[in-house]
Chains A and B, each alone.
Chain A
């Protein structure tokens, strides 16, 4: 953020009072400022309506009972928030979601980083491999789910056939509650290439000389990985972890397509993720007040987790040049 705004940073150098400050304000050409506001007006309107307005609206709704038939909200006090505690499915779905995130994020990071490391080393054909790994990212989630629904079939699916080849008796992926989350992780791993590309870009920016110098000092590949590669790509690592965590906490498409398409069909409890339950409450039962309260709880959880990650990153992330943010 600070990198790009160099044009202003010259004028804001000093913390000097009145005189400089007034000159700074006056240095804005009025016509230019007006033009600037006109250019950003679409975003300002959209922000006021669909972001800020929507959030304020959401907060109000979360303290009311909303009746869709008459479009009216009647005050409900804290009852929606009380229901977050009283309704066991909230904590069940939250637990499912956190469990999924704890399983998915580290595996996604490891697989993406491993692929990126391989691609970074290979001299011929890296373009080809990168394309292959990227294809799943282009595939709509419905297509992915339609295919994996059969690949993950416990009796006749290809994944268990493959495991059987090694003498492993594969589980009933989509039926056994214990294997439902790993099933969705498998699908997430198939589409891990976005994360991989970001690692790859970071790896390409690690200066070669660091490796040469350290190998003269007698460092082996493992020490080089932990002492050079990891610290040098730590900002990409941090970015990927945050993005993947936020995505995992909102997991929806795959769980919906595999287990919750059918409103009648009783889906296994283990597949009830927070995003699914929120969706059901909002757009199947039309409990907008309760759904809004759920959304705010999710918001607070995501912000807390991001905050913890940012705090941790201050200790571990190395920024080139020190002041880059």
Chain B
């Protein structure tokens, strides 16, 4: 976590001027500044911008298309006009009547909050155990934690289903968050790195002052670990919110009201499918697709830094 500052120095700052000050403050000042204004550099930057703007167009196009399609009447979903010929904002009202979106959203939110909350707490407890306590077998056990990160999910899919089946939880949402009670390898790794970044002396001093082992975690480490909590929480929230396969396995045969949003939309895609069934009300699927994306975009707008830091850290673990 200590080296991630390199990736953030240009993101958080609103204006390029501030970033330039940062660079000058570290770098060999005047020489660098002069190079910025060399004509070849300016041309290079313009070319870069043109390329990047082109890529931006390609990356944003599906979003713009999605918004346009969600506002079109039934027959026009297929045309590719980015401004609808006839606007039909009623789609946004109609979708709630045609699909049980509210109960889907309720299920999805409940599951995502439980999954993310539980994994944040359990992983940080375990991570603190690995970071601060010395006990026989610690390195071996942590090696196993790392090894399980490489385990492909497909291998444990069937046995985990059978375990939940034995426990009687298939058809409920418990399997979609239950295993998070026990922590998750990548988050344990992430939070352990964070805890190791805290100076050990403050914990030793607290021990001398008579703070118990649990107090070290609860009173000292937790308050300091909030930033890593946020990373873990939003990562798992996203994973859970977007999860399709889990609900497909555990909820698919219950009532439609029990679905999560991704499972529900997948179900609606079949109902309204333009390829399989002809002219369904596919514009409603578009509205629903937009609505399921929106919460993540809002979270991203507020927590962009954490996503990118989290990923950059992930890259460094190799």
Q: Give A residues with C-beta under 8 Å from B.
A: 1, 4-5, 7-8, 25, 27-29, 31-40, 42-47, 49-51, 53-55, 57-58, 61, 66, 68, 71, 115, 118-119, 121-127, 129-136, 138-151, 153, 156-158, 161, 174, 190, 194, 197-198, 200-202, 204-205, 235-236, 238-240, 242, 246, 249-250, 252-253, 256-257, 261-262, 265, 275, 278-279, 282-283, 288, 291-292, 295-296, 298-299, 302, 306
Which of A4, A54, A140, A261 contacts B193 (CB under 8 A)? A4
Contact A283/B269 with A39-B126, A142-B289 known, Cβ cut-off 8 Å? no
Stretch at the interface among B90-98, B224-232, B270-278: B270-278
Q: B244 near A295 (CB under 8 angstroms)?
A: no
Q: Within the complex, which residue of B44, B125, B157 is in contact with A295, where a contact is CB–CB below 8 Å? A: B157
Q: Given A42-B182, A140-B293, is A37 in contact with B155 using a C-beta cutoff of 8 Å?
A: no
How far is B26's CA from A267's CA once the two chains are assembled, in angstroms? 58
CA of A37 to CA of B290 in the docked complex: distance in angstroms?
46
Task: Specify which chain B residues have a CB less than 8 angstroms from the CB of A115 in the assembled complex.
Answer: 55
Verify A36–B134 contact, CB threshold 8 A: yes
Given contacts A140-B262, A190-B62, contact A135 B157 (CB under 8 A): no
The bracket for how many chain B residues form the interface is 35 or more
Determine if A42 and B276 form an interchain contact, defined as CB atoms under 8 angstroms apart.
no
Asked if B279 CB lies within 8 Å of chain A CBs, one says no
Are the C-beta atoms of A149 and B275 separated by less than 8 Å? yes
Shortest beta-carbon distance from A216 to chain B in Å: 14
Write the B32-74 contact mask toward A (1 if CB under 8 angstroms, else 0). 0000100000001100110110011001111101100100000
Which residues of A are found within 8 Å of B241, using beta-carbon distances?
Answer: 140
B87 beta carbon closer than 8 Å to chain A: no
Cβ–Cβ contact A61 & B162, under 8 A:
yes
Interface 0/1 of B237-249, CB less than 8 Å to A: 0100110110011
24 A-B residue pairings within 8 Å (CB atoms)? A28-B134, A33-B133, A39-B125, A42-B181, A46-B182, A57-B162, A58-B156, A123-B36, A127-B12, A139-B293, A140-B244, A141-B242, A147-B62, A147-B65, A148-B62, A150-B78, A190-B59, A204-B7, A205-B3, A240-B315, A246-B152, A282-B157, A283-B161, A295-B158
Q: How far is the CB of B202 from chain A (nearest CB, A)?
A: 15
Residues in A whose Cβ lies below 8 Å from that of B163: 49-50, 53-54, 57
Cβ–Cβ contact A138 & B159, under 8 A: no
Complex Cα–Cα for A198 and B300 (A): 18
Report the minimum CB–CB distance from A74 to chain B (whole Å): 15
Closest-by-CB residue of B relative to A126 is B10
Q: How far is the CA of A161 from the CA of B81 in the complex (A)?
A: 11
Residues of A within 8 Å of B217, CB to CB, are: 39
Chain B positions within 8 Å of A298 at CB level = 152, 154-155
- Residues of B within 8 Å of A121, CB to CB, are 44, 48
Q: How close is A34's CB to chain B, nearest CB, in angstroms?
A: 8
Interface residues, chain B, with chain A CB atoms under 8 Å away: 3-4, 6-7, 10-13, 16, 36, 44-45, 48-49, 51-52, 55-56, 59-63, 65-66, 69, 77-80, 122, 125-126, 128-130, 132-136, 138-139, 141-146, 148, 150-163, 165-166, 179, 181-183, 188, 192-193, 196, 200, 213-214, 217, 238, 241-242, 244-245, 248-249, 252, 261-262, 265-267, 269-270, 273-276, 282, 285-286, 289-290, 292-293, 296-297, 299-300, 304, 307-308, 311-312, 314-318
Q: For A42, list chain B residues within 8 Å (CB).
A: 122, 125-126, 181-183
Kindly state the separation between the CA atoms of A323 and B266 in the bound complex, as whole angstroms: 48
By the criterion CB–CB under 8 Å, are A201 and B315 in contact? Answer: yes
Contacts of B317 in A (CB 8 A): 239
From B56, B162, B245, residue with most partner A Cβ within 10 Å: B162
A123 to B65, CA, bound (A): 30
Q: Which 8 A-B pairs have the closest CB atoms?
A: A46-B182, A39-B129, A36-B133, A198-B315, A33-B135, A239-B318, A54-B159, A35-B213
Decide if B192 touches A4 in the complex (CB within 8 Å): yes
Find out whether the CB atom of B182 lies under 8 angstroms from the CB atom of A134: no
18 new A-B contacts at CB < 8 Å, known A8-B139, A54-B160, A144-B62: A27-B134, A32-B135, A37-B129, A43-B182, A46-B179, A49-B163, A51-B151, A58-B158, A61-B162, A121-B44, A124-B45, A129-B55, A132-B56, A140-B244, A149-B269, A201-B7, A239-B315, A282-B158
Scoring B59, B62, B154, B276 by chain A CB atoms within 10 A of each residue's CB, the highest score goes to B154
The answer on a CB contact under 8 Å between A39 and B162 is no
Give B183's nearest chain A residue, CB to CB: A43
Partner of B244, one of A33, A204, A253: A253
Name the residue on B nearest A139 (C-beta).
Answer: B293
Residue of B nearest to A73 (CB): B162
Contact of B52 among A1, A118, A201 (CB under 8 A): A118
In the assembled complex, the CB of B45 is this many whole angstroms from the nearest CB of chain A, namely 6
Q: In the complex, A283→B162 CA distance in Å? A: 11
Residues of A within 8 A of B122 (CB): 42-43
The smallest C-beta distance from B245 to any residue of chain A, in angstroms, reads 6
